[in-house]
Amino acid sequence: TEGSGKVVIRASYYSSNRFDANGVFQPKDAFDLGTDQSATVTIAASGTGFSAYGITFQNDYNISEHLGKNDQTPAVAFNSKADKINLQDCSFIGRQDTLYLQGSGNRVLIENSYIEGTVDFIFGNADAYIKDSRIYMAYFSGRKSGYFTAPNTSKTNVGFVFDNVHIDVSEQYPSDATISLGRPWQTEIATE
């Protein structure tokens, strides 16, 4: 942004997750692209070795518009499908599904960064090492629950590793809210 010395990349795409009887995605409008395509920025699988420093990636959907109690829906700020990703001093701001880290075996390093969302806002099947960062669960009108992560990690992969990470939850959540570090996504789990 002009005068601030910081680079902010923002958009407002989302996913309604509406499908017809045959499982074909049915977008509501030109901004409804589905979760995989809704990101403000997507790094393709061919983007091996991508690095970013000091950039804010933001999806404004559900932040500055569509704020009604039942309006929350996936709207990705940053989607990485590549290996050897290095993200330093960056911010990832969204609500549901903010940071999508894809590709079984792909490696992502996030350091000295800020990640903000409400539901499943760090998700995917890549291996991620998140170090010396802050993770903040923002409030969304009417919500009484939230999940920081939704990993989809296979048995042979590492998943998400958090090292020296400060985790906060908005004080706007009611006292009876259910807040969890994570829940599996597209993966079956068993306990004994």
Active site residues: 97, 120
Three-state SS at 37: helix
Q: How far apart are CA 107 and CA 127, in angstroms?
A: 5
The token pair that represents 116 in the structure block: 């903000």
In the numeric block, which tokens belong to residue 150?
């939704």
Torsion of CA 182, 185, 106, 95, to 10 degrees: -60
- Judge whether 113 and 92 are in contact, CB under 8 Å: yes
Q: In this structure, what token pair is assigned to residue 165?
A: 């990470």
